[in-house]
Structure 1
Amino acid sequence: MIHILRQLYLGKRFYWALMGIVLIFFLSFWFYILYPFGLFLACMMGVFFIVDFTLLFGKKEGIKASRTLPEKFSNGDANGVILRILNQYSFEVGLFVLDEIPDQFQKRDFGFSTQLFSRKEVEEVYALTPNQRGVYQFGNLHLFAQSPIGLVVRRFSFDKNQTVKVYPSFLQMRKYEFLAFTALKREFGLKKQKRIGQSREFEQIKPYVLGDDLRHLNWKAVAKTGKLMTNHFQEEKSQPVYSIIDLGRVMKMPFNGLSLLDYAINSSLVFSNIALKNGDKAGLATFSDQIGPNCEATHRPTQLRLVMELLYGIQTGFPESDFGKLYSWSRKKLGQKSLLMIYTNFEHVGAMRRQLPFLKALSKHHVVLVIFFENHILEEFAETPASTLSEIVEKTIASKFLFDKRLIAKELQRNGIQTILTKPQDLTIQTINKYLEIKEKGFI
């Protein structure tokens, strides 16, 4: 009995009908002729209530439902959740579906209404867009069913406690994956350029053929065989490329629900995939006041999964980042010239100039690409018209901050450091294009 009472709810029609009957009884105090009519309606309502109750509670499992989640969620993207609902009643039911979605979304009234014919199964899909990585816990799935009479509502609850992990945006990774193919690069504004110099690695020794470069004659092989032998080389493709993410407090700043760190993480995953598709070695490093999780650049088949798992677990802290520690790590760990894509953020020129000696030292041994962010909200604010003196002052300060960002980019470039100054939402495509441009120019 208690189990039935827990499932029993009263529909909106019940309350409307009850209000109508109460109003008739109230008016019958002055118009007695309405009293029998009100009494008749009250009896009919009781009869319909019993019939409606019998229809809904006469079958033990009138409604069946299940929730299907993807293996993992993609951070910052819309992820589909599938609900399958089966109506086992012999009549059409109206349903209100209430799903207990994870606490991270901060929604307690997430639901929708639908109609379901007798003996029919329906598949409903809704989308969730997470804004932070981690484990998300789903609660119960509740369905509130009512018959065509609509006086009684029965709740069906399914204990579908499920968890799903939110990983860096692998949907973006798949979206931009086609950029790895050389034939499509020109569609994104990249022109084929003559390579400056050549990066070549030894392939094999072959007999000399007319037309071979005489500079590649292998005199030791000639002495052993008595024949002209030449060294043959192939263009070296497997260059180390590292995504280096600043985990300091400057990366905590939020934009459109995601922190700068999450934008950098999503971009790093996409970039690592593109680099591996291009035959390069992809690696990862993180730093703040200490060197954080990192992995050596390789092109193993499992490398992308390793990068994703490392990106899944990293978080920002509050210390100021130490680029000197990054330089020391690179000198110890990176023996070969590499492309270092450093995701960080500089809000003023002074902050950049404190780190400039370390960036210049890095650029002597590697190709350094510094990626930092425009404040597009500040830019929109600076472009709106000002009408008062205080607004003029605020917009002047905002313009000064924006000017400093451009000044930082120019000063880095003047010191031989590749630079990307981009809006957070454009980070991924800007990073890919810059990487492909560096590859085309033969810097690595």
Structure 2
Amino acid sequence: MSVITGLGVVAPNGVGVKEFWAATLTGRSGIGELDRFDTSGQSARLAALVRDIDPAEHLPGRLLPQTDVSTRLALVAAQSAIEDADLDTAAMTDYDMGVVTANASGGFEFTHREFRKLWSQGSQHVSAYESFAWFYAVNTGQISIRHGMRGPSCALVAEQAGGLDALGQARRSIRAGVPLMVTGGVDSAFDPWGWVSHLSSGRVSADPDPDTAYRPFDTGASGYVPGEGGALCILEDARSADDRGARVYGELAGYAATFDPAPDSGRPPGLRRAAELALADAGIAAGEVDVVFADAAGVPELDRSEAEALREVFGVRGVPVTAPKALTGRLFSGGGVLDVVSALMSIQDQVIPPTFGTGTVPAEYGIDVVLGEPREARVSTALVLARGRWGFNAAVVIRSSPNGS
């Protein structure tokens, strides 16, 4: 059995689990004007940025010139998760600890800065750290180096679904005999080129109002707001966690991933199948799920498709559905894992956070979206869904710890 014993959060609306969860319940949003560069003339100007942290206060000075924004945030999240789990990594066997992270963008800001130097000043001005700072696996590498973790490690690239895929891969390593894994996802791509990449999807909301720009499942949904940050978890073998007296947030009970068929195939998207496979992997029926943390794209056709999948699995209004990411924007590899943190907090506090910003859900969706304010409820099992562009789907089942710790 794989259990989660530590959480590290770097979200646009709160750094640390306590701050993030308080923001999630009270509706404090991290969405605002994108002010890291001039966005005048662009079709959209809102983003969800991590502002409440200075990496220089958390990381050794030698790491700062080596790392992109996303890697600095990942290192902070990893350190927070390790401290939250009360781990003394120096006292552990290095090959008993591994790292699996997801990353959708790589070191976007870092590499584009070095490209500008190459073109305008010449190759002698390009940082030697460019050789790895751009790479999708750099977060995994830097975390493993800093904390002496030499167990099985890898990086996954599946856009928004990637963070859940990282959890699934980490669980495979636990089942293969590795006692502990650091796992999750963190992303950032907010330089001028990164912003153009975001906008090229055609799914970014052009609404200039931070309160209404991202309204998943709403009748007025017009796209999403991109964000940065995410979360990392400490995933442990339950027996090892028990041996060291660890506090357990919950169990990673089920996981599945699917891929959508070709657009013209006439076959349905794979999200429903991912949900059903994750439930089967956990050994539970749909009726045992207390809440679904939805992918919640905020794009009408995608919202409609997800609502259909939820109706097919749970029945009409068969389970409460929520999307706290309306306060953080879509964080790509970090989004699904941040929802896992929310699911664990829901289980801990027996409350479902609402989908702030969403007001009216089309009746034909047939889903019970939690709106307006937190809903007190019995929560012991949660399903978390994520979809990435180009067909990635992932689902995980989170449930309360069997021993109640």
TM-score norm. by structure 2 comes to 0.26
Q: How does the TM-score come out when normalised to structure 1?
A: 0.25
Give the structure with the larger strand fraction. Answer: 1
The structure with the larger Rg is 1
